[in-house]
Amino acid sequence: MWFLCRHASVHAHLNHRLLPPEAYTTRSEDEADCWVAKNGKPEEVYAAVQLLLDENRNPNVNITGDPALRAEKIRACAEQAGNWTEE
């Protein structure tokens, strides 16, 4: 998924140390999520939120942290930036 790939590259953009996904602090994860939510394509941000909220998502998709909480924060960042749209 585009959002998750972009999220990973944003860690470098934000000068975060590159670590395995489970090693990032909640703050670093939130910063990367929020940056992508504010600067990504609205339809991709929406798709990422839907994926995080989907209880039947592919179990091979590795989600760090609480998916529902991440979805809520991503949506809030996108809305704050005027980058939220529901498809």
Position 68 scores a pLDDT of 96
> What is the percent of the chain with per-residue pLDDT over 70, rounded to a whole number?
99
Query: Per the structure block, which two tokens stand in for 49?
Result: 């939120």
Comparing CA positions, the residue from 28, 43, 50, 51 lying closest to residue 85 is: 43
pTM of the model: 0.89
Q: What is the band of 62 on the pLDDT scale with cuts at 50, 70, 90?
A: confident
Position 46 scores a pLDDT of 97
Domain boundaries, the chain: 2-80
Task: Kindly write down the DSSP assignment for every residue of 25-61, as one continuous string.
Answer: -HHHHHHHHHHHHHHS-HHHHHHHHHHHH-TTS-TTS
Cα(53)–Cα(68) distance, integer angstroms: 6
Position 56 scores a pLDDT of 93
